[in-house]
Structure 1
Amino acid sequence: MNDFLARQHLFLPGVWLDGVTLVMLTLVGFIGLVILRFSKAYLHGDPGRPRYLRWLLATLTAVMVLVLSSNLLVLALAWMAASLALHQLLTFYADRTQALVAAHKKFLVSRVADLCMLGALALIGAQVGSLELADLHAWAEATPSLPAAMHGATVLLVLGVSLKSAQLPFHGWLLQVMEAPTPVSALLHAGVVNIGGFLMIRLAPLLVKAELAQTLLVLIGTTTAVVAALVMTTRVSVKVALAWSTCAQMGFMLVQCGLGAYSLALLHLVAHSLYKAHAFLSSGSTVDQWRTRALVAKREPVGLGRWWAAAGVALLAVTAVGTVSGASPRLEPAPWALAAVMGLALTPLLVRGAGGGWRRLATVGLGALGVAALSFTWHAAFGQLLAAPLQSGEMAPRLALVIAGFGLLFVLQAVLYARPDGRLARTLYPRLFAGLYLDEVFTRLTFRLWPPRLPPRAPHGRPSPVIETLEA
């Protein structure tokens, strides 16, 4: 552990410099530059552009301070500052009621998360006597088992991260912020919402000894990922589908942290940020592509037998790649479990490839092998950047929960795709389209406790125009 701390030695007071910091700074700087350039053209001629640019730069600055900080209190304050600056961007169009409602819900959820974070820091400071990351890591390494107060601190950290990562049932605001400018959506989905995963990676030496917190991460993440992935298949709007995808991806990132696969979580964070930035900034062309595909004649549903066969082939491919790479399922069970989930995720590609002839099937099959190989390769590469301690505690229950949850997701998706007019589809589809009504319950409770300030009603007693949510 001393060697580990030596590599993280602070070159400047208050700065934590390691491989993770460099990766995150590069990521934030690159995405921030792209969004800044896009914003200048997107808001050209808008009188509010100077105000928008000020708050955008304030958000990016706060995120960079968060990434560089070696002190947990500074990190938490920077996260709050990023959230408050982002709030100004979400309410950029003050006459759009839907934007104000979504921003209000996010504001309340974020403030509860802030309280959880501050409570966790108070407990950590009382136990460790310091909020410096180096002191906390050294204390965690020297402590065989965590006291009850530190278990409470880790649970509060998990709750705070879950709230800010749009996990169910506090996810509704993420689906309804589309009334903000498109680059703001890209900044939120590609940057700010990923901070929770970064914090879990920073605190890996502490979290690997907190079994309750890890189990909570796996439970929350698996539930959100499964539900969000199912709901996403019912979306018509491209941007809303991307928002549900972000919920699912954040859930999967928490699962990776809960299983101790912090190098995979870091890889996931980088890949998700780049993908979502591109997806939102190119959402206009995505709509055109979707319309073009809609003109193509739809194929007949594929039978369940082909789904099971494709799943078997995908899992065999992942197993073969993992074996060749030398990864040991006994020493590192978490990456293998997550690789199995990836194999199930690749199954739809094989199913579609099987219906396009042998050449198409071979192309898709080779692509699946390539994705599996890249996953294990990048896992090894990012493992060199992140000197996280080995996983401790009993992992079998968490692995069983992940395999059961994502196995259920695969079975439901296969049945729904193979039998779109069946009884299960007719029963689930309306409820999934409504998001299981989770956000409606949360919104009613939120508005009852703290209603938002909305624009005044328009003349002649008519309500002010409301831009309806894009879920229709």
Structure 2
Amino acid sequence: MVNSLPEIFFVLLAVSVLSALFLLYPRVPLSYVRLHVGITLLPPLAALMALFTTKETIIYGPWWLDSLSWLLVSFVLIIGFIVQRYSVRYFLGDRSYRKYFALLTITTGADSVVWLCNDLRLLLICWGTTLLGLILLIRLKKEWSVARNAAKQTGQLFAISWLILFGAVIWVTQSTGHWQLTHVLAKSSLTQLELWEKTCISLMLILAVVIPAAQWPFHRWLLNTVVAPTPVSAVMHAGLVNAGGMILTRFSPLLSGNMSQIILLILSSVSVMIGTGIMLVQVDYKRQLVGSTIAQMGFMFIQCALGAFLAAIIHAVLHGLFKSTLFLQSGSALDHHKKQTSRANQPRSLLWTITGGILGLLVVIGLWLSSSGENYHFISALTLGWSVSLAWTQLVAFGNGHIARIAGFSLVAVAAIVYNFVQDAFYGVLQHSIPKGIQPPEPAAILLLIILLAGSAAGVWLARHRSSAAYTVIYLWLVRLGEPQNNLIESHPEYLTKSFFKGGHLQ
């Protein structure tokens, strides 16, 4: 049974794609959509069974089957199933109803196959299909000029990204003489590459993944895609934008120990700052989520640059699940904003706030002393300590009365227990399928720490000096950075008028 799981998975994936194509036939009743969505649940169930039964890496024809592969396949397809189930009623009545489900099934199916590919030619084809499917989903309402313009700009950047990846693959395969990724990444093959060749190929890989990950200075396309339907945004942010860290993890032996890590560190650090700033100043809920994604993807790439590829995968998966949930719940954003506003007006205890800061500091010290002393562990300890302090402030210091503070303290404790449980579970599944990366030079980690601390200090200072000229300039710059371009906004979508009226008569 275990040996037949890959065949079962591919058969079920093919059935789901054929079901999507069958749905495009006009005579098929729309009620078939519910059956189709049920069919799309079968491939991720098979992938989960393979994940829990896979004990070692298996090279099966052009496929690379290990726990990392099956985890990423399960993640992408489960997100796809949830979004399709959500969309059954969400898109009901839309003229693109059939097309939407077909495109989403094919796009997530192609994306899942990417993580199983050992043949680089097949990987290029599947990744190109994924990017093309995403462009068509953004352009789903093609009657709307704004959607067409957003898809066009996204398509241009995606084409550049895919061509750069194509060039990197051609270069490395011609230098090593292999198309199989496992052979390309073998030590005997990597020794055939000169240092400058390895660095150039690494830089091409980085450039190819930071574009679809919406990292600075290529972040604009993701801000433009807020015009896409909300379920499309959920899939995009959960299963496709975070693919960059997954690709770098697969190619990690190429990235280890060269200048490309420092360049990735700089780009991702700037992206964290810009994404966080956009998230804080935007009033549009979807743009806030986009800014958050840019920042989170930047942090994921920081983990890759520091050689912590296992942590990057954990981050990518958990962020994908969290962000897809936020997008699918975006309809309640107004009510959430009211609750946040009312909480912001509540007084908070100075003593409890100081306690939260001390607790965060103790978390940093404890994690750092219990780690192996690597650069990433120090950055991770700082991040977790800040998160604990922030959570304590929001849940405990803002608590109104003893009962509220006890409830907030309980939530913080439960969150810490769940975090440790999830982290241990991921490490247990993935520790043998992800190679440990080489850390960048010490000065690079110090530079990262300086950038993050300087950015945090600047943010605190600006928050306390909102009447200053510097605050005004930076605030307006971030607002402008997150605003749509002129050809991506309409006061009233003209295609809606044309849909109902033609020649002055109601249709």
Q: Would the TM-score normalized by the shorter structure come out above 0.5?
A: yes
Q: Output aligned runs, 1:226-245, within 5 Å.
A: 226-245=273-292
2:99 to 41, 45, 51: 51
Contact 1:116 1:159 in 2 (8 A): yes
Letter paired with 1:328 = S
Quick check: 200-209 or 277-286, which moved more?
A: 200-209
In structure 2, the residue matched to 1:38 is 86
1:432 to 478, 495, 499: 478
Q: Distance in 1 between matches of 2:259 and 2:417?
A: 33
State the shift of 1:436 in Å: 7.9
SS at match of 1:7: coil
In structure 2, the residue matched to 1:217 is 264
Letter paired with 1:294 = T
Contact 1:301 1:417 in 2 (8 A): no
CA shift in 2, pair 1:176/1:255, >3 Å: same
Letter paired with 2:457 = V
State the shift of 1:219 in Å: 1.0
Letter paired with 1:99 = A
Deviations 1:362-393 (A, max 9, x none): 76566556656655664454344143444436
Q: Output aligned runs, 1:108-119, within 5 Å.
A: 108-119=156-167
Relative contact order, higher structure (CA 8 A, sep 6+) = 1
State the shift of 1:103 in Å: 1.3
SS at match of 1:382: helix
Letter paired with 1:204 = S
**Unaligned runs of at least 5 residues, structure 1:** 1-5, 445-453, 460-472
Q: Distance in 2 between matches of 1:302 and 1:155?
A: 49
The question of 1:70 aligning with 2:144 is answered: no
In structure 2, the residue matched to 1:349 is 391
State the shift of 1:72 in Å: 2.2
In structure 2, the residue matched to 1:333 is 375
In structure 2, the residue matched to 1:449 is none
Overall identity of the aligned pairs, in %: 26
CA shift in 2, pair 1:370/1:327, >3 Å: farther
State the shift of 1:300 in Å: 7.1
1:97 to 145, 150, 153: 145
Quick check: 182-191 or 370-379, which moved more?
A: 370-379
1:160 to 193, 204, 208: 208
CA shift in 2, pair 1:140/1:308, >3 Å: farther
SS at match of 1:16: strand
Contact 1:114 1:160 in 2 (8 A): yes
SS at match of 1:82: helix
Bigger radius of gyration: 2
1:416 to 462, 469, 473: 462
In structure 2, the residue matched to 1:9 is 58
In structure 1, the residue matched to 2:335 is 288
Deviations 1:282-341 (A, max 9, x none): 1002332213443567257999x9988854531322332554xx4322xx3312322212
**Unaligned runs of at least 5 residues, structure 2:** 1-54, 488-492, 499-507
Q: Distance in 2 between matches of 1:201 and 1:404?
A: 26
State the shift of 1:92 in Å: 0.9
The question of 1:197 aligning with 2:241 is answered: no
| Number of equivalences | 436
Contact 1:123 1:150 in 2 (8 A): no
CA shift in 2, pair 1:188/1:170, >3 Å: same
Measured on the aligned residues, the alpha-carbon RMSD in Å equals 3.2
TM-score by length of 1: 0.83
Q: Output aligned runs, 1:355-370, within 5 Å.
A: 355-356=398-399, 359=402
TM-score by length of 2: 0.77
Contact 1:218 1:255 in 2 (8 A): yes
Q: Distance in 2 between matches of 1:28 and 1:38?
A: 16
Deviations 1:414-454 (A, max 9, x none): 223334334442332111211288x86xx99xxxxxxxxx9
Contact 2:161 2:211 in 1 (8 A): yes
In structure 2, the residue matched to 1:248 is 295
State the shift of 1:342 in Å: 2.9
In structure 1, the residue matched to 2:360 is 314
Contact 1:321 1:369 in 2 (8 A): no
